[in-house]
Amino acid sequence: MTNTQKLLFALGSAITLPVATCLAQAAEPQIKTLTSPKDPTESAVLIGRVINDGLTIQLELEGAEAMWMQMGTPAQWSEHVPAKNERYHIEIKVTDNATKTRLPYSTVTFAATNKANGKSVETVLPPMWGGSGLHYSENSPLAGDGVYAATVTVGVPAFAREMKDKDLWSKPVNAHFHFKLKGGVLVEVSEPVSAAN
C-alpha cells in the first residue's frame, strides 16, 4: 500500500467512523429524568415518541383496565378483566405522518428487558378502540422495578394500497424506548421527539 493509499484510507476512516457512530447513537433514546415521579396507574404517562419511516410511534403506560375483547374460536366477545399481577396498560399509537391517520391492520409487538434483573416481557398488542381512537394495547405486570430497554415493532400492515403507495410500510419498523420504574412509579422516560406537523 502506497503512502497516498494509506492517507486516503485513514481519511476515509476518520470521516465514516463518526458518521456511523452518530447513526448508531441516533437509534437509541435520549433519557429524560422526570422532575417528580409519575404513577402510571393514576394517569397515563408518555414513555416516548419516535418518528421512523414516515410513522410516529408513541408509547404510553397507564393503569391496567378491563377490555371488551374477542376470546377464543369461534369468535366470542367478553370482558377481559386484568389479572391480579397485571398492574400496567401498555398503549401504542402508530400514526402515518403524511395523512395524520392511525395505522390499522398491523401486528404491533412490545418487547422490554429490565436491565436490573434481566427479566423480559414480550407481547403482541391487539388493536383497540378507546377514548384516544385506534391504538394497540395490552395489560402487563412488566418485570419489576428497574431500567427498561424497550422496542416496539410495527409489522407490515395487511391492507391494500394504491400503486403509487405500494412501497409504503413494506418492512417492519422499530422504535426504541427507555423508562425506569422505582417503587412502581416512573422516574425516567425517553425524551420524546416533537410530534410531526
Quick: pLDDT tens for 114-163. Answer: 999 999 999 999 999 998 899 999 999 999 999 999 999 999 999 998 99
CATH number at residue 143: 2.60.40.2480
* Residue pair 190/47 in contact by the 8 Å Cβ criterion: yes
pTM for the full predicted model? 0.82
Q: Which helix (H) or strand (E) holds 152?
A: strand 146-154
Flag whether 58 is in a domain.
Answer: yes
Q: Confidence class of residue 9 from pLDDT cuts 50, 70 and 90?
A: very low
The total number of structural domains in the chain stands at 1
In terms of residue numbers, what domain contains 48?
A: 29-190
Using omega within 30 degrees of 0 as the cis cutoff, is the peptide bond preceding 37 cis?
Answer: no
Low-confidence winner among 60-64, 68-72, 125-129, 179-183 (lowest mean pLDDT): 68-72
Flag whether 153 is in a domain.
Answer: yes
Tell me the CA distances in angstroms from 26 to 52, 97, 193, one per residue in order.
Answer: 11, 20, 12
**Which of 85 and 71 is assigned the larger pLDDT?**
85
Flag whether 22 is in a domain.
Answer: no
Flag whether 24 is in a domain.
Answer: no
Flag whether 129 is in a domain.
Answer: yes
Flag whether 3 is in a domain.
Answer: no
Extract the runs of DSSP E, i.e. beta strands, from 26-145: 31-38, 45-52, 55-63, 67-71, 76-80, 88-96, 101-102, 108-114, 120-125, 127-130, 133-140
Flag whether 23 is in a domain.
Answer: no
pLDDT at 72: 73
Flag whether 17 is in a domain.
Answer: no
